[in-house]
């Protein structure tokens, strides 16, 4: 198990709860499958597996939460095709045009009829809260999904002063400078992928993948006024990722050395989960300070 894509938040205050406290607070938002006319449902499930009751897994000062989402997939094309057939049938039978209001009522009836048979999509996402460092790390790529999960945790706890990081330096300016200079700051090695965008005018977007970024072509785009909005980097020689100007981290991979050193395999699923989660908290606790420092530190 590993967090491949994350959105990172910071806490303005401490985070300290007992497992029993958290179980009671999270219970009202426990996951319940879709029923009736529900299009989507999401809530907390046990990090330890479906047969367990605990809704938060605490390891030292690290808290791990798991959220399950169920979404019914009812394509608009299916509904519209069914609606078209019913409208044509009704107009032919009654020799008149179906009104806009009638079409809306028919569509609602079709959705009600089809929804219980709709395909169900399930997704599970994790949240790690570091009580020691004040990080809230959500393993999703989507900003909307991250905000939904933060909102759910905030609702369960009653209060969660989590916000996105603000830095003393612009992420765009820093990444643009790194690419222009051909090297990053301490702990940051530039990779082989970049996205550049024009700040003004119709310069558009340029993407380069799997190529040396220290080239005349890339430098020409920078000299023309484009800035780096996304960049592949390696942090502390251990973790490779793609970072963008919203501080979203994607395609996060561990180095072979780290994988080999932490190749713990246990027949006990809880022990294996603990090993995986400890690796997650440990590695992110190392790379996040390096990234924060690279952007001039967190602003007040």
Token pair 């046990």: residue: 46
Q: In percent, how much of the chain has pLDDT > 90? A: 68
Tokens 């300290």, located at residue:
16
Is the pLDDT at 203 greater than 70? The verdict is no
d(CA 185, CA 69): 39
C-alpha dist (Å) from residue 106 to 80, 81, 85, 88, 111: 10, 12, 11, 12, 9
Q: What pTM was estimated for this model as a whole?
A: 0.86
- Asked if 300 contacts 198 with a C-beta cutoff of 8 angstroms, the reply is no
pLDDT of residue 201 exceeding 80, the answer is: no
Average pLDDT, stretch 155-176?
96
C-alpha separations of 73 from 22, 116, 122, 145 in Å: 32, 10, 10, 17
Taking only the tens place, the pLDDT of each residue in 227-283 is 999 999 999 999 999 999 999 999 999 998 888 887 777 778 888 899 999 999 999
| Among the listed residues 32, 43, 40, 31, the one whose alpha carbon sits nearest the alpha carbon of residue 118 | 40
Long-range contacts of range 84-87, CB-CB < 8 Å, 24 or more positions apart?
86/110
pLDDT at 145: 94
Length of the chain: 300
| pLDDT number for residue 62 | 96
Does the pLDDT value for residue 104 go beyond 70? yes
Token pair of 259 as six digits: 């994988």
Comparing CA positions, the residue from 15, 95, 98 lying closest to residue 63 is 15
45-54 pLDDT per residue, tens:
999 987 788 9
Give me the pLDDT at residue 36, please.
Answer: 74
When the pLDDT of each residue in the chain is averaged and rounded to a whole number, the result is 92
């Amino acid at each position: 198990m590993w967090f491949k894509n994350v959105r990172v938040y910071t806490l303005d205050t401490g985070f300290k709860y007992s497992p029993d406290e958290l179980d009671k607070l999270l219970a009202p938002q426990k996951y319940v499958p879709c029923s009736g006319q529900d299009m989507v449902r999401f809530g907390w499930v046990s990090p330890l597996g479906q047969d367990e009751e605990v809704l938060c897994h605490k390891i030292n000062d690290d808290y791990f939460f798991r959220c399950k989402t169920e979404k019914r997939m009812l394509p608009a094309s299916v509904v519209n095709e069914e609606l078209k057939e019913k409208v044509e049938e009704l107009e032919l039978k009654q020799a008149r045009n179906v009104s806009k209001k009638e079409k809306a009522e028919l569509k609602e009836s079709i959705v009600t009829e089809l929804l219980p048979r709709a395909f169900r999509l399930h997704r599970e996402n994790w949240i790690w809260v570091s009580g020691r460092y004040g990080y809230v790390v959500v393993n999703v790529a989507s900003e909307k999904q991250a905000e939904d999960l933060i909102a759910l945790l905030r609702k369960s706890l009653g209060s969660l002063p989590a916000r996105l990081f603000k830095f003393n330096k612009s992420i765009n300016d820093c990444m643009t400078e790194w690419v222009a200079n051909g090297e990053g700051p301490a702990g940051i090695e530039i990779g082989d992928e970049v996205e550049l965008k024009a700040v003004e005018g119709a310069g558009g977007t340029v993407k380069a993948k799997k190529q040396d970024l220290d080239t005349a072509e890339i430098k020409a785009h920078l000299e023309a006024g484009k800035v780096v909005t996304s960049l592949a980097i390696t942090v502390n020689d251990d973790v490779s990722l793609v970072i963008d100007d919203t501080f979203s981290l994607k395609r996060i991979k561990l180095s072979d050395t780290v994988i080999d050193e932490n190749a713990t395999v246990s027949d006990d699923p809880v022990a294996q989960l603990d090993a995986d989660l400890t690796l997650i908290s440990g590695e992110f606790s190392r790379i996040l300070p390096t990234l924060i420092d690279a952007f001039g530190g967190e602003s007040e």
